[in-house]
Structure 1
């Protein structure tokens, strides 16, 4: 009987995917003229570097061949999303040098949180402040367009704001603060509920400014990162070497987020809101690293010291003194063979694999491919 139930479920799920594929094949692919992103370090393209502290080599060495504001050796998932639509990489809103906002802007910064940051937080640009920046961005850019001249060509057209894709990747820093704060399980859950509520309020606010297509990442498997494995060396590990308790916190947050977005779809039936299970896509790399050409899955490529080549006091790009000699905390010989870049963020190679996975729709709710994420239903236009 058990086999029969399982088989029936598998057949039903496959049938659903086939029907979804047929339905989406009758629709035109989305043609977003712009992307507006909100988030933290996983989607920062230069905000933190411009406003607070510039990254140093070897950041950016693989693709840009220089530090380019990404917390990686090369491109991040947001870059691959932009590429998939034939759009230029997003300029950071906070960067005043050589920026081009004609096809969108990025409000994300390293260290950003959903709720207001604590006293020692690395970034003041939490989500509500990013929303405020975007809210002011709209009328200011349209005033510039009206003035004409060369600056007008670097500004999005008014209709782009309603037609754009709005992407989000934030929450990891909120969870990190909870985990590092020695809170009880009940306190963590209560805090997660409030964090998700605050996130939903910001999505509503951005919707009220005209946004209609949303692509929202959940948070990744924190317990697989060098940071957490180094911080909690005695933590119980799962079969893949990840800290179980830390991943459970991430999963709890993700479930709350998924339910909140389902509620937002009911409130705003004219919006296309896609929940993206980045957790499962990233976890798959740690579950079978060799399948994707990776080695030493939990060991940082750029770092120094310990089992995981990670020490927060001797961070990637910094300088340390070893036996009287100052040396650069540099990268490994082959970043493309590693999952983790600095012990917290991913290499370009890992980001590309994750992008390839999530862009198919296999990790989304509803399970819609990235290039169809503007559609709210599966009826032919």
Structure 2
């Protein structure tokens, strides 16, 4: 047990995106956003319970991700295709209500994390702002090399966003783009490696964590994989 506690004490623990699939399945099943909102307190409580359990068995540094801007998902954009123009963000083409839902989840999560910080002042609780890190390339896709846009999936079953719930990526009838590094969206629900690379740099080498990751954990020896799959040394 002592060895386990020491491993946890000296480890950086990245919490998974708890709740992501709970929201995904509900949206895909056609549940209204008001029903999704009823899930949020349950999801937040589960995240906090998991964090407290890890702290109890020795964890001292945890990265807790917020929700991504799900209104920019090719899957959701397909499900809601044909909605009123007022439902979309003019700058990004994303669904405003779903992104606001994700922001609300993130606000509740951050409030709960502050409460943990008060109870455990010696534990590093790092909030990872996946939402705004990703919104960078949804607002300006070409700036980040996504010349084929940020909303259309690279791998999918056709349609305006190349997403078809009945034809998943890797299905014999699906199609895959020739240059995935020029797309931000991989299969409708997941981003491409290139998009995740932007998010990684924004979090662990940039300013999209609270507190800032670089102020707690030096990254001079961190190696990351870039969009072309070559290993690069971070500065």
Number of the residue aligned with 2:186: 341
2:207 counterpart of 1:355: no
Number of the residue aligned with 1:182: 31
Deviation at 1:314, TM superposition (A): 0.7
Cα pair 1:169 1:218 within 8 Å, conserved: no
Q: CA RMSD in A?
A: 2.2
| Range moving further from structure 2, 248-257 or 167-176 | 167-176
Deviation at 1:371, TM superposition (A): 5.9
Output the TM-score relative to the length of structure 1.
0.52
Distance 1:363 1:291 in 2: 18
Number of the residue aligned with 1:12: none
Provide closer, same or farther for how the CA distance between residues 183 and 263 of structure 1 changes in structure 2, counting only shifts above 3 A. same
Which of residues 210, 222, 226 in structure 2 aligns to 1:365? 210
Deviation at 1:360, TM superposition (A): 2.7
Deviation at 1:351, TM superposition (A): 1.1
Which of residues 70, 75, 91 in structure 2 aligns to 1:227? 75
Unmatched 5+ stretches in structure 1: 1-137, 143-156, 321-328, 374-381
Cα pair 2:6 2:58 within 8 Å, conserved: no
| Count of paired positions | 212
Distance 1:181 1:202 in 2: 29
Number of the residue aligned with 2:140: 288
SS at match of 2:15: strand
Deviation at 1:253, TM superposition (A): 0.6
Distance 2:165 2:6 in 1: 44
Which of residues 58, 67, 88 in structure 2 aligns to 1:237? 88
Number of the residue aligned with 1:79: none
Deviations 1:332-371 (A, max 9, x none): 0101101011111111111111111111341111233276
Deviations 1:198-236 (A, max 9, x none): 210111011111111001111101010110001111331
Provide closer, same or farther for how the CA distance between residues 226 and 252 of structure 1 changes in structure 2, counting only shifts above 3 A. same
Which of residues 163, 166, 170 in structure 1 aligns to 2:13? 166
Provide closer, same or farther for how the CA distance between residues 184 and 300 of structure 1 changes in structure 2, counting only shifts above 3 A. closer
| Range moving further from structure 2, 174-183 or 216-225 | 174-183
Deviation at 1:266, TM superposition (A): 0.6
Unmatched 5+ stretches in structure 2: 219-235
Distance 1:274 1:306 in 2: 39
Provide closer, same or farther for how the CA distance between residues 354 and 223 of structure 1 changes in structure 2, counting only shifts above 3 A. same
Cα pair 1:219 1:279 within 8 Å, conserved: yes
Which of residues 52, 56, 59 in structure 2 aligns to 1:204? 52
Number of the residue aligned with 1:52: none
Deviations 1:269-310 (A, max 9, x none): 110000011100111111000101102221111112101111
Cα pair 2:78 2:161 within 8 Å, conserved: yes
Number of the residue aligned with 2:225: none
Distance 1:352 1:361 in 2: 12
Distance 1:314 1:341 in 2: 14
Deviations 1:85-142 (A, max 9, x none): xxxxxxxxxxxxxxxxxxxxxxxxxxxxxxxxxxxxxxxxxxxxxxxxxxxxx79xx7
